[in-house]
Amino acid sequence: MTSPNEPRTTGAVGAPINRVDGRLKVTGAARYSAEIPVDDLAYGVIVQSTIARGTIDRIDAGEAEQLPGVIAVMTPRNAPKLESLQKFEREGSKGSRPTGRALSLLQNDSVHYNGQPIALVIAESIEVAMHAASLVRTTYRVDQPTIDMATALPSAYPSTEKIYGREPPATQRGDLQAGLAAADVRLDVVYTTPMETHNPMEMHATIAAWDGDKLTLWDATQNVHGVRGTIAKTLSIPPEQVRVISHFIGGAFGGKGSAWSHVVLAALAAREVRRPVKLVLTRRQMFGPVGGRPHTVQHVTLGAARDGTLTALRHDSTSSTSTIEEWVEAATLATRILYDCPNEETSHRLVRLNVGTPTFMRAPGEASGMFALESALDELSYELRMDPIALRLKNYAEADPESGKPWSSKSLRQCYALGAERFGWARRTAEPRSMRDGDQLVGLGMATATYPVRRMPASADACIYPDGRAVIKAGSHDLGTGTYTILTQLAADALGIPLGCIRVELGDTDLPQNPISAGSMTVASTGSAVHLAAMAAREKLIQLAVTDPRSPLHVAQHGAVEIAGGRLTLHGDVDRGESIEELLARNGGQPIEGRADAKPGDETQVYSMHAFGSIFAELRVDPDLGTVRVGRLVGAYAAGRILNPKTARSQLMGGITFGMGMALMEHTITDLRSGRYVNADIAEYHIPVHADVPGIEVFFVDEHDEHVDPIGAKGLGEIGMTGVAAAIANAVFHATGVRVRDLPITLDKLL
């Protein structure tokens, strides 16, 4: 970013300020989607299938409809037919699916997984709606479902679609077989990861309200513009007639990135009953209909010379998808870029199961793929009797080994060094079971962390008002990620207006278009747009001052004007200047507006852009009980410019905690006969609780990257999650000598 008026920072960016929306959250005043007061509200409750595959034979809503307080029961018998879907089916499912994802919208009698939405009850109250939902009787013609990943594995087929529409599904460089033949040491192992469920604390929720032909959705989404597009296409109405609002989201983690069935069903129901409808999923309904992380079976083959130099690396990942949609867990993308191995192959395959369609879940692909890769590197380090960090440094990629492009910046060496020092890696004795604390086995393990820098087009408005205050508008989202806060900081520095005089508006399709808040790209995308919009407003303000004969800054050099604390002054002469209020009052009292439509340039053609880090785990294993207690997790990360060390540290701690859950607890279990989600609640689906989570320490490696985006930040939402499962698995091996290649690492696998 070069500009004649590049602000001399007023210090907002980089300061560890408290969240600007924090007061609303600690007082309970922040309103989430299900909490918007809407008059004349009716309540929707979804009825789900109780078989995994087959056809609805008979669905009897009579008893439910008779219940006092029930307004309607929508089933495949009476639900409005959607022309968009009928057209899609007529044309042989060619072209893009209007719903985006393959949804269950009561258009036919087919059942594809256990828990699929098959009816919707609309009633005067939650109590009545839930009771009525239990009275809907359904009989089926049952077909044999495919549930078990292990037995279905022979049916795996290669994924041929580009991943995320961008990355090839398979890659090859060099000559793998030659590399294996040349190796002194070979490793050929299979790692498996289970289905996992996002389980944000806030359930998916939608309030749908029609005003004539205009629809408003208050939806728990991390993608307001995406939901608008999907709903408009599905209902065959212009996008301008759909407004989606999502001011606060109670966690999302990728699961709230798509418009799932309930969003469309709420809109349909509200139109049918001519009243606003609130539809909140139950916790149980979060398992299946709204995505999750799929199973993976990952085959890793490594070859290395005696000195640790990798000669061959193959990573094939087979992941589960549903029978109605292909979704690939991109588990080998990190493998392609992480180590400088000349002979490498990666591939993705799919197995179709009768389960809900999987989706993005925090660090999709990288989290599961790096469990395999970084475990395999650890296994190799023992084969070679080599320090795991030394092995990684031996194969350090000085440029992207897949594309050959230079890194926009890479500070992984420093991350290894800083992490190792803060963790105390030097005290580790390499032999498994060699470290003890009383009768407890002590394990120390590490892994690499990485996540790509992604950026999409984003727009923002910055408006400076005559009272000296400013409003920033962008249709992005704050999922707890700190978006409100860091955008306030970026705007404060660009505008020279104090933090307290800036308000950021997010989460509304009435605001400038922004991408989904996912893939760690909000800072690079929306942050850049806000910075550029604020800079545009700043330019206008300065232009106004230097061309206004009554301004003390009249005819000043444009580049010599500074703005700080809401005051324009001449560089080197702070007494010469005036406040924004004075300037605007004299010039008609009109607001100054800056707009930016920001998009990535050609930097991705020139550079390979990734954030990197290192993660270290120390844990204790009870040799008699197999229980694992994590004592310390230490991460060191280089992710470009850190806009707010306080929220950045929190986000990384959160990612590390999520990774700890993946390592030790998380497992969505399906009954192998019925396909029913067995542990579909948050008592049986274990996530880390206070007592599980040790001291987590996060450190930053200072990194300046002028290529990634105008603000030099790489994004932090996912990288904290990557590598954690491997670091813990590696520490478990170090403690016990047992190599667990199947997540989660539960005590039964250690006895």
Partner 1 sequence: MGTVISQVTTVDVELRINATTRQLALDPRTTLLDALREHLDLTGTKKGCDHGQCGACTVHVNGRRVLSCLTLAVAAQGKDITTIEGVADGDQLHPMQQAFLDHDGFQCGYCTSGQIMSALALLREPCGASDDEVRECMSGNLCRCGAYSNIIAAIQDVRATHAHEA
For 455-503, the DSSP string reads: ---EEEEEEE-TTS-EEEE-S---SSS-HHHHHHHHHHHHHT--GGGEE
Task: Give the sign of the dihedral formed by CA 613, CA 614, CA 617, CA 618.
Answer: negative
Reported as type and span, the H/E element at residue 652 is helix 645-664
Q: Which two tokens stand for residue 39?
A: 């008059």
Nearer to partner 1 (CB atom), residue 200 or residue 229: 200
**Cα–Cα distance between 646 and 657 in angstroms, integer?**
17
* Interface mask toward partner 1 for 466-505; x: CB under 8 A: -------------xxxx-----------------------
- Shortest separation between residue 222's beta carbon and partner 1, angstroms: 11
Stretch that binds partner 1, among 104-112, 463-471, 572-580, 653-661 (CB under 8 A): 653-661
Which tokens in the block code for residue 138? 């359904």
CB of 465 to partner 1, least distance (A): 24
597 touching partner 1, by CB under 8 A: no
Q: Which residues contact 265 (CB under 8 A, 6 or more apart)?
A: 44, 46, 74, 105, 106, 117, 120, 279
DSSP string, 99-160: TSS----SSSSEE-STT-EEEEEEESSHHHHHHHHTT-EEEEEE------HHHHGGG-EE--
Residues 667-696 that bind partner 1 (CB under 8 A): 681-683, 687-691, 693, 695-696
Binding characters for partner 1, 53-82, by CB under 8 A (x = yes): ---------------xx-------------
**Of 282, 222, 170, 730, which is closest to residue 480 (Cα–Cα)?**
222
Q: Enumerate the active-site residues.
A: 718
Q: Does 655 bind partner 1 (CB under 8 A)?
A: yes
Give CA–CA dist 367/174, Å, rounded. 26
Cα separation, 166 vs 29, in Å, equals 41
Residue number, 290 or 313, with CB nearest to partner 1: 290
**Binding segment for partner 1 among 55-63, 453-461, 655-663, 743-751 (CB under 8 A)?**
655-663
Q: Which C-beta is closer to partner 1: that of 563 or that of 721?
A: 721
CB 147 within 8 A of CB 673: yes
Among 97, 271, 283, 503, binds partner 1 (CB under 8 A): 283
CB of 174 to partner 1, least distance (A): 40
Q: Among residues 318 and 485, whose Cβ is nearest to partner 1?
A: 485
Report 211-250 residues binding partner 1 (CB under 8 A): 248-250
In the complex, the smallest distance separating the C-beta of residue 249 from partner 1, rounded to whole angstroms, is 6
Please classify residue 94 by burial: count the beta carbons closer than 10 Å to its beta carbon, then call 0-12 exposed, 13-18 middle and 19+ buried.
exposed
Residues in contact with partner 1, total (CB under 8 A)?
66
Structural tokens at position 441: 């086995």
SS3 544: helix
| The only residue of 196, 202, 508, 703 in contact with partner 1, by rule CB under 8 A | 202
Report the residue number, 51 or 719, with the smaller CB distance to partner 1.
719
Q: How far is the CB of 359 from partner 1 (least distance, A)?
A: 16
DSSP string, 361-373: -SSTTHHHHHHHH
Dihedrals phi, psi of 208, to nearest 5 degrees:
-115, 130
Window 504 to 563, contacts with partner 1 (CB under 8 A): none
Closest contact distance (angstroms) between CB of 513 and partner 1 is 23
- For residue 268, which amino acid is it? L
User: Is the CB of 260 or the CB of 685 nearer to partner 1?
Assistant: 685
Among 52, 106, 203, 370, the residue binding partner 1 under the rule CB under 8 A is 203
Residue among 182, 189, 430, 653 that touches partner 1 (CB under 8 A): 653
Distances (CA, A) of 481 to 91, 249, 316, 613, 647: 41, 10, 33, 19, 7
**Beta carbons of 630 and 619 less than 8 angstroms apart:** yes
Tokens of 234: 């599905």
- Per DSSP, the three-state class of 216 is strand
Quick one: which segment of 405-413, 499-507, 654-662, 735-743 binds partner 1 (CB under 8 A)?
A: 654-662
Minimum CB–partner distance for residue 392 and partner 1 (Å): 26
CB under 8 A: which stretch of 199-207, 261-269, 542-550, 597-605 binds partner 1? 199-207
**Residue 28's CB: how many other CB atoms inside 10 A?**
8
Outline where DSSP puts E strands in 571-710: 573-579, 592-598, 610-621, 628-638, 695-700
Site for partner 1 in 247-276 (CB under 8 A): 248-253
Peptide bond into 744 cis (omega under 30): yes
Considering the complex, what minimum distance in angstroms separates the CB of residue 246 from partner 1? Answer: 12
Tell the smallest beta-carbon distance from residue 45 to partner 1 (Å): 12
Q: Which residues are CB-neighbours of 421 under 8 A, at least 6 positions away?
A: none
Least Å distance between CB 415 and partner 1? 20
Between 298 and 517, CB nearer to partner 1: 517
Q: Between 118 and 147, how does the x/- string for binding to partner 1 read (CB under 8 A)?
A: ------xxxxx--x----------------
DSSP character at residue 557:
-
Select 205 or 300, whichever has its Cβ closest to partner 1: 205
User: What's the min distance (Å) between Cβ of 700 and partner 1?
Assistant: 15
Nearest distance from C-beta of residue 480 to partner 1, angstroms: 3
**Is the Cβ of residue 202 or residue 578 nearer to partner 1 in the bound state?**
202
CB 414 → partner 1: shortest distance, Å?
24
Return the C-alpha torsion angle 544, 547, 548, 553, nearest 10.
90
Residue with smaller CB distance to partner 1, 121 or 128: 128
CA-to-CA dists, residue 29 to 475, 655, 715, angstroms: 21, 26, 28
Sign of the torsion formed by the C-alpha atoms of 193, 197, 200 and 204: positive
Residue closer to partner 1 by CB (options 132, 183) is: 132
Q: Which of residues 340-399 bind partner 1 (CB under 8 A)?
A: none
Binders of partner 1 among 409-448, rule CB under 8 A? none
CB 718 within 8 A of CB 611: no
Q: By rule CB under 8 A, what string of x and - marks binding of each residue 609-648 to partner 1?
A: -------------------------------------xx-
C-alpha distances in Å from residue 188, one per residue of 173, 192, 561, 604, 652: 19, 14, 64, 34, 32
Residue tagged 């009953």 (tokens): 273
For partner 1, the closer CB: 124 or 340? 124
Show contacts with partner 1 in window 3-42 (CB under 8 A). 18-19, 21-32, 34-35, 37
Among 100, 169, 179, 200, binds partner 1 (CB under 8 A): 200
Q: Which is nearer to partner 1, 310 or 687 (CB)?
A: 687
The phi, psi pair for 494, rounded to 5°, reads -70, -35
List residues binding partner 1 (CB under 8 A): 18-19, 21-32, 34-35, 37, 68-69, 124-128, 131, 198-203, 248-253, 280, 282-283, 479-482, 646-647, 649-651, 653-658, 681-683, 687-691, 693, 695-696
